[in-house]
Structure 1
Amino acid sequence: MKTAVALIAAGLVAILLGIGFRTVWAPPETLSASYSAGESTAPVTVIEPAVFGVHDERVDISVEADGEFLLAVGRAGDVEAWVGEAAHTAISAVDGGQLQAEIVEGEAEVPNPAGSDLWVSEETANGSTEHRWIEPAEGEWSILLAADGKQPAPATVTVSWPNDSSTPWSMVLFIIGALLAVLGLALAVLARRGGSDAGGPDAGSRIGHPEAAVAGASAGSAAGQRVRGRAETVAGRLVKPVFAVAAAGALAATVLQPARAAESSAASSEAGTAYPVLLDGQLNRILDSVAAAVAAGDSAQDAKELTSRVGGSALTLREANYAVRAENSDVAAPAPVAAEPLRTAMVSTTASWPRTAVAVTQGKDNQVPQVIVLSQGGPRENYKMVEAVQMLPGTTFPQVASEAGGTAAVAPDAADGLLHAPKDALELLAANLNGGKNADKVAKNTFTDQIRSFQDAQVKANENADITFSRKVAPDSVRALKTADGGAMVFGYISNVMSSVPAEPGATVELSDEFATLAGERSTTSGVDVTYGESVAVYVPPTGAKEPVSVIGVAQDLVDAKIK
Structure 2
Amino acid sequence: MRFVWAVAAFVVAAVLIGAGIAQRTVFHGPSTQSAEIALTDDSPYTVIDGAVLNALPGTQTLKVEGDDGVFVAYGRTADVSAWLADQKYTAVAAGEENSIVSTVVEPEPTPSSTTTPDAATPDAATETDAAAETDAATDGSAPETTPTRSPVGSDLWLAEYSDPAAVVAPLQLPPTMSVLVASDGTNAAPASISITWDVSQSTPWSGPLILLGIIVLVGGVVLYVLAIRHARRSRGPRRKAPPPLLETQPIDVSIEAAEKGVITAGPTTRRSGRRKAVIAVPALVGAALLFTGCSADAWPQLAPTPTPSATAPIVDSDEQQAPAVTEGQARQILARISETVAQADEARDATLAGTRLTGAALAERATNYTLRGSIADYTALPAIPSEPTQIILPQAYDGWPRTVMAVVQNNASDATTSTIMMMTQADAWSEYKLSYLGNLGGSTEMPDLAPAYIGAAQVPPGSSFLLVAPDQLASAYADVLSNGDQSSFAGLFDEQSDLFSESVAADRQKRLDAFNTTATNTGTLEFSSAAGANAPLALATLESGAIVAVTVTETDTVKPANEDVVIKFEGNPTVQALTGVAESKSGVSTTFADQLFFYVPAQSSTEKVRLLGYSSNILEAKVL
Structure 1 pair 58/272, CA: closer, same or farther in 2 (3 Å)?
Answer: farther
**Alpha carbons 2:59, 2:171 under 8 Å: kept:** yes
The verdict on how the C-alpha distance between 1:101 and 1:521 changes in structure 2, with shifts beyond 3 A counting, is same
Partner of 2:621: 561
- Helix, strand or coil for the counterpart of 2:82? helix
SS in 1 for 2:52: helix
Counterparts in 2 of 1:226-245, with a 5 A limit? Answer: none
Indicate the SS of the match to 1:67: coil
CA deviations on 1:72-130 (whole Å, 9 max, x unpaired) are 01011111111121111111223245312221224674221111111111112444444
Report the Cα offset of residue 426 of structure 1. Answer: 2.1
Indicate whether 1:50 and 2:51 are aligned.
yes
Report whether the alignment pairs 1:148 with 2:184: yes
Give the whole-Å Cα distance in 1 for the aligned partners of 2:386 and 2:61: 35
Does residue 514 in structure 1 map to residue 574 in structure 2?
A: yes
Call closer, same or farther: CA 1:96–1:29 in 2, change over 3 Å: farther
- Distance across 2 between alignment mates of 1:282 and 1:25: 44
* Structural mapping, 1:95-106, within 5 Å: 95-106=96-107
Q: Distance in 1 between matches of 2:581 and 2:505?
A: 27
Report the counterpart of residue 542 of structure 2 in structure 1: 484
Equivalent residue of 1:324, what SS?
helix
Q: Which of 495, 500, 510 is the matching residue for 1:447?
A: 500
Residues matched between the structures, number: 441
Question: What amino acid maps onto 1:537 in structure 2?
Answer: F
Q: Tell me the residue number matched to 2:153.
A: 115
Answer yes or no: is the 8 Å Cα contact 1:35–1:98 preserved in 2. no
Trace 1:22-421 onto structure 2 (pairs within 5 A). 34-38=36-40, 40-106=41-107, 109-135=147-173, 140-159=176-195, 161=197, 270=317, 273-329=320-376, 331-364=378-411, 368-392=417-441, 394-402=443-451, 404-415=453-464, 417-421=465-469
User: Structure 2: how far apart are the matches of 1:56 and 1:451?
Assistant: 62
User: Judging changes above 3 Å, is the alpha-carbon distance between structure 1 residues 166 and 551 closer, same or farther for their aligned structure 2 residues?
Assistant: closer
CA contact (8 A) 2:324 2:397 kept: yes
- Which amino acid is the alignment partner of residue 381 of structure 2? P
Distance 2:29 2:319 in 1: 38
Are positions 1:433 and 2:481 aligned together?
A: yes
Which one-letter code corresponds to 1:453 in the other structure? A
Whole-angstrom distance in 2 between the partners of 1:280 and 1:403: 7
TM-score (norm 1): 0.70
Report the alpha carbon displacement of residue 283 of structure 1 after superposing the two structures with TM. 1.9
Cα distance in 2, alignment partners of residues 61 and 392 from structure 1: 47
Residue 524 (1) aligns with residue 526 (2): no
Asked if the contact 2:540/2:546 (under 8 Å) is kept, the reply is yes
Partners of 1:139 and 1:275 within 8 A in 2: no
Equivalent-residue separation in structure 1 for 2:187 and 2:200 (angstroms): 39
Change (3 A) 1:535 1:108: closer
Question: Are the counterparts in 2 of residues 343 and 362 from structure 1 also a CA contact under 8 Å?
Answer: yes
Distance 1:482 1:144 in 2: 33
Secondary structure at the counterpart of residue 69 of structure 2: strand
Normalising by structure 2, we get a TM-score of 0.63
Rounded Cα–Cα distance in structure 2 between residues aligned with 1:491 and 1:485: 18
Q: Which whole-Å CA distance do the structure 2 matches of 1:290 and 1:133 have between them?
A: 27
Does structure 2 conserve the Cα–Cα contact (< 8 Å) formed by 1:488 and 1:540? yes
Looking at structure 2, the residues matched to 467 and 272 of structure 1 have their Cα atoms a distance apart, in angstroms, of 54
- 1:479: how far off? 1.1
Q: Distance in 1 between matches of 2:573 and 2:199?
A: 77
Distance in 1 separating the partners of 2:526 and 2:450: 43
**Structure 1 position 155, deviation (Å):** 4.4
Moved more, 544-553 or 105-114: 105-114
Tell me if the contact between 2:393 and 2:451 (Cα under 8 Å) persists in the aligned partners.
no
Question: Could you tell me whether the CA contact under 8 Å between 1:93 and 1:99 is conserved in 2?
Answer: yes
**Post-superposition shift, 1:544?**
1.0
- Asked if 2 retains the 8 angstrom alpha-carbon contact of 1:459 and 1:466, the reply is no
> Is the 8 Å Cα contact of residues 472 and 494 (structure 1) preserved in structure 2?
yes
Unaligned runs of 5+ in 2: 1-22, 108-144, 205-312
Deviates more, 1:100-109 or 1:40-49: 100-109
Could you say what the CA RMSD is over the residues aligned between the two structures, in angstroms?
Answer: 3.4
Find the counterpart in structure 1 of residue 554 from structure 2. Answer: 496
1:432 maps to a residue whose letter is V
The answer (yes or no) to whether the contact 1:72–1:145 under 8 Å persists in 2 is yes
Q: Which segments of 5 or more consecutive residues in structure 1 lack a partner in the other structure?
A: 1-21, 169-265
Q: Tell me, yes or no, if the aligned pair for 1:42 and 1:108 is still in contact at 8 Å.
A: no
SS in 1 for 2:362: helix
